Structure 1
Amino acid sequence: MTQVATIGFTQTTARGFFERLQAAGVRSVIDVRLYNTSQLAGFAKADDLAYFLQAIGGIGYRHEPLLAPSDDMFKAFKKDKGDWRVFEGRFLDLMAERQVETRLKPQMFAGACLLCSEATPHHCHRRLVCEYLNGKWGGQLEVRHL
């Protein structure tokens, strides 16, 4: 069993965010956002986040846009207030089209934490990534939402 966590950076302080990662024993963060350099991301902007993760907790950082929704999909859901079920179906289809389960291996997720912006995993693609991969990999991922 490969342990993987997920976390969002909105609606939390930097202190709370980094303390949750450290308490969970996270060794690397896999950023599954399509855009990781937005000024609105605050402490979670790519270069700053990579620095803070390493300096505060010795945690590695990797951006993995392969696990992000497409730009049009993201805009249709977020900016146009789209239906979650439509987004979910389109995103699962996109991961199947990309064949992410053949391009990644469960071991790559050991001790990792998938990062995106959503505060909770309920309407977040990071949860869908874990569920999709678990379905393809026979439940090899043990997922914790921080």
Structure 2
Amino acid sequence: MGNVQVSTIGFTKSSAEDFFDRLQKAGVKTIVDVRLHNTSQLAGFAKAADLAFFLKRIGGIDYVHQPLFAPTEAIMKAYKTDKGDWKTFSRDFLDLMAERKIEQQVKPEALRGACLLCAEDKPHRCHRTLVCEYLNDRWGGRLHVEHL
């Protein structure tokens, strides 16, 4: 069993060079895209199809979109568009993950060498961190998380 090394990263406020360098230095094997919407033109190099191409070509890194780890449109709107507070967002998203039983749908080993990706440049106040914390709570601390 043992611990599973997993990392997280956001792409905003990062050049493509810095972004891909961080992934390679960390030894990331798979990007797990936890964004609800991964095809926005505003995402630049992190638009889903382009990102999958760049990851494979630059670093031999696989790409998986995992909407199971994303908040709903309503939860995101309440927080981002309607300027809701982090406490409410966190509670609602944690409740959603519990309702979805994400810890039963993904095994810890599936995240070995993975890096959870979203848009936020910093890991605090970001749903990718909530995913890791939730899973770690359910999996008895199996994940060793590094924020890139």
For the aligned pair, the TM-score class normalised by the smaller chain equals over 0.9
Residue in 2 aligned with 1:140? 142
Identity of aligned pairs, percent?
A: 63
Task: Please name the residue that 1:56 is paired with.
Answer: 58
* Superposition RMSD in Å: 0.4
SS of 1:115 mapped into structure 2:
strand
> Aligned partners of 2:11 and 2:81: how far apart in 1?
19
- Between the aligned partners of 2:37 and 2:117, the Cα distance in structure 1 is 12
- CA shift for structure 1 position 63: 0.1
How far did 1:79 drift? 1.1
Provide the TM-score with structure 1 as the length reference. Answer: 0.99
Q: For residue 69 of structure 1, what is the aligned residue in structure 2?
A: 71
Superposed structure 1 runs of 4+ greater than 2 Å apart: none
Q: What's the TM-score, normalizing by structure 2?
A: 0.98
Counterpart CA distance in 1 for 2:64 and 2:105 is 15
Distance in 2, Cα, partners of 1:41 & 1:76: 21
- Candidates 43, 47, 54, aligned match of 2:45: 43
Rounded Cα–Cα distance in structure 2 between residues aligned with 1:46 and 1:136 = 29
Unaligned runs of 5+ in 2: none
* Count of matched residue positions in the alignment of Structure 1 and Structure 2: 146
Any idea what the Cα deviations from partners look like across 1:79-123, whole Å, max 9, x if unmatched? 111100000000000000000000000001000000000000101
